[in-house]
Chains A and B, each alone.
Chain A
């Protein structure tokens, strides 16, 4: 360290590194995440992540509940993408019990999944922009998210944590007028996303704050196990909906937006484009909604044979995986949740090398972590 400084500085002035606790209570850490930063001025020399403040022992808890009893708790993992968590666990149990899900239920699931993805991305958009200082965007993002919550309330009876699907299918058909309301919302949302892109994408300040910040290369992104838009921002085409198809996703036509540089801006663009793709998928699903049974044939008492399955879905934050080990009873013997935020947060170390505090805030925002999911 000393050798790099000019001689006069060595003799007269002595600088030393400073430790700064960012979090657990900090507006930009999106929850109770704590980063111990070693700083040289405002430049980050070392980052030490501390997580676990929100650890609720969901995996342990799951071992004491039957498969059906456990379903609602997984909503609380990523509380901004509850429906997607739900799809993950329900899909994993269906895979374990080899249950057939009716096609209509799959379509309904796709619609609700994508609405939830939209809601999650809108919330990310709102908070990420606020982190970088664009205050108004917070209100725009939350405003657009509100109709989705209303749609959920109309369909599931709950807004944030709807406990969306039972194992084996879906509960109820969409209520009367729901489809029209959904279409209306999507129609209104499309031009607004364009508006927001005009507000930020072309904004010089936004570009200066995001381009070239928090870069992670394609190889590193894979090696660090990142997933979701955080991975795709680096140009890796890995979307579970395409790569390991599940539910009715193979039947829909949609693109997977990819970034090139792997910086904050690319991750931002990826999510913005993903929102448009979600709208596309929902519209296709609403158009092609098949007739038929919704509930499927799920047994009342679910006893799976001894064995194990691993089922992943593309949650809003990335690849969400449920690894279930069954011991022949109606409760999981071991249930492990691969939560995308947890793994993505690990990449923060790599992304924030040599960044400033302000960049750090932007990078955390661009990873889109939810601490409920990081700590489980």
Chain B
């Protein structure tokens, strides 16, 4: 034990000499985890859809089909990569990257639990960069993803993808605003843009923000489903209508879009608990430390609680996909501009009122 601790303190001193190492290690761990989660949420969705649709879903590769994501990835790698003659080759190749990177970058500002305390008293935070303007950063980075879709559709030099990109552009415009407004209501409640502050505020208030911002939560859910381009708002893909912005893509480039979509699902369903459901706070137990629990146990339980909350959110998103038909283009825009936007604005006033008069 002592030798281990000694070894650790040597490593630590090295890391403190070059702080960038800490960040690199954290980024490595985070990306690894996120990739694993994204890979398995595809499997979870397929198995769950199978369950909803009275069939089995992929269960052949490995026990319970657990190696299926690996098989999928391999398949996509081995497939021929086609760049259509009619396309703009540079943008066509760039577009998947544009779509791919924003959701992963967004994870940087999350805080997943209370800090981990080392035996020597040094603490390590469960976040890569818990910046002051975390929420703003997320909003900025998540709207970048749409460029990938627009570029993909436009550069394919084909009509169906073009329709997909046109649809996604107008859809993004229509739903980004209510999404941001609903998040702003949470920021107002917490009084901070920092995600860990928002969670701390929920702990301090002893209630989660989905209670005062229930309208905001609903608006957030609907418009985030639209942001993720998922049923019933999956118009940019719309398999049965225009096939989608990625019609011309194949092999790994298509897989990039595919992974980006699921990374978005993971991203949004991890953001929701932080904003509305108390993040790593453990429900019904106000402060475990009061019961004499070790802070490290508290932080591990916190991670579990966070994961459970975001899993529930993600399952909900999958459930919606299994249930609803698709909206039409004009109806979608109508809902965005004429229904969600006024509601989100009204919610802002309601939350402001609650904050001003009910909570001093």
Footprint of B on A, CB under 8 Å? 18, 20-21, 26-28, 42, 129-136, 138-140, 143, 199-200, 203, 205-206, 208-209, 356-359, 361
Report the bound CA distance from A27 to B242 in whole Å.
Answer: 9
Contacts of A42 in B (CB 8 A): 163, 329
In contact, A140 and B328 (Cβ under 8 angstroms): no
Write the nearest CB–CB distance from B76 to chain A, whole angstroms. 21
The minimal Cβ–Cβ distance linking A152 to chain B, given in whole angstroms, is 21
How many whole Å from A190's CB to the nearest CB in chain B?
A: 18
Interface of B, secondary structure class, is loop
* Residues of B303-329 whose CB lies within 8 A of A: 321-329
* Residues of chain B from 145 to 177 with CB closer than 8 A to chain A in the complex: 159-160, 163
Report if A357-B241 is in contact (Cβ < 8 Å); known contacts: A205-B324, A206-B325. Answer: yes
What is the bound-complex CA distance between A206 and B239, given in angstroms?
Answer: 17
A293 to chain B, nearest CB (A): 42
**What B residues does A20 contact at CB under 8 A?**
159-160
Contacts of A129 in B (CB 8 A): 325
Closest residue of chain A to B167, judged by CB? A42
Q: Does B67 contact A (CB under 8 A)?
A: no
| With A136-B322, A205-B327, A209-B327 already in contact, 16 other A-B pairs whose C-beta atoms are closer than 8 Å | A28-B240, A28-B241, A131-B240, A133-B238, A133-B324, A134-B326, A136-B52, A139-B54, A139-B55, A143-B54, A200-B325, A203-B324, A206-B325, A208-B327, A208-B328, A357-B163
In the complex, which residues of chain B have a beta carbon less than 8 angstroms from the beta carbon of A27?
A: 239-240, 243
Q: Which residues of B contact A359 (CB under 8 A)?
A: 328
Cβ-closest chain A residue relative to B55: A139
A358 to chain B, nearest CB (A): 5
**Closest CB in chain B relative to A321 CB, distance in Å:** 32
A229 vs B238: C-alpha distance in the bound complex, in angstroms?
27
User: Count the B residues whose beta carbon is within 8 Å of the partner chain — how many?
Assistant: 29
Residues on the A chain within 8 Å of B49, using CB: 135-136
B232/A357 in contact, CB under 8 A? no
Given contacts A20-B159, A136-B52, contact A361 B241 (CB under 8 A): yes
Q: Which residues of B contact A21 (CB under 8 A)?
A: 159
Is B326's CB under 8 angstroms from A209's CB?
yes
Q: Is the CB of B53 within 8 A of A358?
A: no
Most buried by B among A28, A135, A359, A361: A135
Cross-chain contact B238 with A358 (CB below 8 angstroms):
yes
Q: Do residues A133 and B231 form an inter-chain contact, with CB atoms below 8 A?
A: yes
In the assembled complex, 12 residue pairs joining A and B whose CB atoms fall closer than 8 Å, in A order, are: A20-B159, A21-B159, A28-B240, A133-B231, A133-B326, A136-B52, A136-B53, A140-B53, A143-B54, A356-B328, A357-B163, A358-B326
Measured between beta carbons, the chain A residues less than 8 angstroms from B160 are 20
Digit string of B13-56 for contact with A (CB within 8 Å is 1, else 0)?
A: 00000000000000000000000000000000000010011110
* Pair A18/B159 contact, Cβ less than 8 Å: yes
A375 CB to closest chain B CB, in angstroms? 22
Task: List A contacts of B232 (CB < 8 A).
Answer: 133, 205
Residues of chain B contacted by A356 (CB below 8 angstroms): 328-330
- In the complex, residue of chain A having the shortest beta-carbon distance to the beta carbon of B322: A136
CA distance A359 to B328 in the complex (A): 8
Q: Which of B242, B322, B327 contacts A135 (CB 8 A)?
A: B322
In the complex, residue of chain B having the shortest beta-carbon distance to the beta carbon of A130: B240
CA distance A208 to B327 in the complex (A): 8
List the B side residues contacting A136 at CB < 8 Å.
Answer: 49, 52-53, 322-323
Contact B231 A135 (CB under 8 A): yes
Q: Do B324 and A139 touch across chains, with their CB atoms under 8 A apart?
A: no
The reply to whether the CB of B6 lies closer than 8 angstroms to some CB of chain A is: no
Q: With A and B bound together, what is the CA distance between A140 and B159 in angstroms?
A: 33
CB B11 to nearest CB in A, in angstroms, measures: 51
Q: Does B120 contact A (CB under 8 A)?
A: no
Residues in A whose Cβ lies below 8 Å from that of B231: 133, 135
Contact A134:B324 (CB < 8 A) given known A20-B159, A356-B330:
yes
CB distance from B142 to the nearest CB of A (A): 24
B234 at the A interface (CB under 8 A): yes
> How far, in angstroms, from A123 to B323 measured CA to CA in the complex?
19
Contacts of A132 in B (CB 8 A): 240, 325-326
Instruction: Give chain A residues whose Cβ lies under 8 Å from the Cβ of B325.
Output: 129, 132-134, 200, 203, 205-206, 209
Which of chain A's residues have a CB closer than 8 A to the CB of B239?
A: 27
Nearest CB of chain B from residue A92's CB, rounded to whole Å: 37
CB-nearest residue of chain B to A207: B325
Q: Looking at the assembled complex, report how far the CB atom of A361 sits from the nearest CB atom of chain B, in whole angstroms.
A: 5
